[in-house]
Amino acid sequence: MTQIEFAKKHKISPLINRVASLERSSSALISKLLREGKAVVPNNRLRRIKKPCAIGKGLRTKINANIGTSTDKSQVSDELRKMEVCVKYGADTVMDLSVGGDLRQIRKKILRLSPVPVGTVPIYEIAVNAQKEKGDFLKFTAGEIFDVLESQAKDGVDFFTIHAGVTRQSLGALKKHKRVLDIVSRGGAILAAWMSRNKKENPLYEEFDRVLDIAYHYDITLSLGDGMRPGSILDATDPAQLSELNILGELAGRCRKKNVQVMIEGPGHVPLNQIHKNVLLEKQICKGAPFYVLGPLVTDVAAGYDHISSAIGGALAASYGADFLCYVTPSEHLRHPSVEDAREGVVAYRIAAHAADIAKGIKSELEWDRDMSIARKARDWKKQIALSVDPEKAGRYRSSSKPHLFDVCTMCGKYCSIKLMEECMRA
């Protein structure tokens, strides 16, 4: 039985019990959300995950960190180090987006070592195999697509990004309504190029039932990818994006019918004043399916700081109801991220998700701020540092700049307002 089937039979699986306790929620609630398609628990039935999680309505906003080799940099040890750092700083899931080196070996290592759910974009391996075997990464067949899905499923992958919404119809919308940037999704572009070259429909769409069969068999969560996500804020919420979203809504319905867990991927680059609308549209069109957004970036000009431009959008999206944030690192648009870039990205997202969760009214999150503020009032520096989102950095900053007076900081020194008020409030 898949987790949805358990939920539909009102049975609580051991996994749901574990997740509920980790979420500080109730098994009954998680089960209800699964049943209604409003939450997912990505966990391949072949894999035991140390820290599984539920992603969905009313739950703590989750964060995904992308790791994986590139064609230029393919040291798996770096990627494992990134995974370690990301999980330490609050990533709830990781996605292995490797395209360099021995993909299967890398994936297996990540799956063996990851304490959190692992996702992939199988079309990458399909393209990389074609490149290796046939010298052309677009030379793959529909059959080969499903072979890779099956083999990744057997390896234990917990969730798949499937770009099934890049279809003749959504590509038609893209061609009809000019964009500044066309497709910026790597998987989306591979499929669009394949379709264009072969004059065929997208096999992931046309044979979506085969995707469903594999997902059902291994209880893999499908993350319906947004190949048409805008890559410039000028393209946001345009006909191509909406055409694809409608297709994803239809496919989400088919997932539910087959008892396959599903979430929906979203943009991308979106101006601040269109984020609310984007969340509302997804929730309406996809009947409350969890929304997994990449950022969104609220401007196109912040290369080098896209962890910030996208943490702004991510915080806002989550506060409006997005459930799952895919981090963006400072190296976005410039280079394959370093371990340090990954750390900066995940911390920025921890802040964004936490700020949104406070806005959503998740009580346990507010306790963290209360504890910090109490430590701040007491000028208990050890505690303030321990409670910081990144204690190492906070500790480094403090020790780099020691005040003459031990109980204040070098910003205000003896003019510390908190210290001053201690006396004043007693009077």
Looking only at residues 2 through 61 of this chain, which bind its own copies when binding is defined by CB under 8 A? none
Work out how close the CB of 326 gets to its own copies at its nearest, in angstroms, rounded to a whole number: 14
Quickly list DSSP for 197-243.
HHT---HHHHTHHHHHHHHHHHTPEEEE--TT--SSGGGTT-HHHHH
| CB 282 within 8 Å of CB 264 | yes
CA distance 289 to 247: 14
CA distance 89 to 87: 5
**Closer CB to its own copies, 43 or 243, in the complex:** 243
* Per-residue x/- track, 354-393, its own copies (CB under 8 A): xxx-xx------x-xxx-xxx-xx------xx-xxxx--x
Of 31, 34, 60, 124, the residue at the interface with its own copies (CB under 8 A) is 124
CA distance 286 to 1: 24
| In the block, residue with structure tokens 């990954």 | 342
Chain positions 81 to 120 lying near its own copies, rule: CB under 8 A, are: 99-100
CA distance 111 to 128: 20
Of 243, 331, 343, 346, the residue at the interface with its own copies (CB under 8 A) is 331
Cα 351 from chain centroid (whole Å) = 14
Residue 120 CB partners (closer than 8 Å, separation 6+): 95, 96, 97, 107, 152, 157, 159, 160, 161
**Closer CB to its own copies, 21 or 71, in the complex:** 71
**Closer CB to its own copies, 50 or 411, in the complex:** 411
CA distance 163 to 126: 13
**Among the residue ranges 29-37, 54-62, 212-220, 292-300, the one whose residues contact its own copies (CB under 8 A):** 292-300
User: What is the radius of gyration, based on Cα positions, of the chain?
Assistant: 22
Of 215, 319, 321, 323, the residue at the interface with its own copies (CB under 8 A) is 319
Under rule CB under 8 A, residue 335 binds its own copies: yes
Under rule CB under 8 A, residue 185 binds its own copies: yes
Chain positions 251 to 270 lying near its own copies, rule: CB under 8 A, are: none
**Closer CB to its own copies, 220 or 346, in the complex:** 346
Of 86, 183, 260, 279, the residue at the interface with its own copies (CB under 8 A) is 183
Under rule CB under 8 A, residue 242 binds its own copies: no
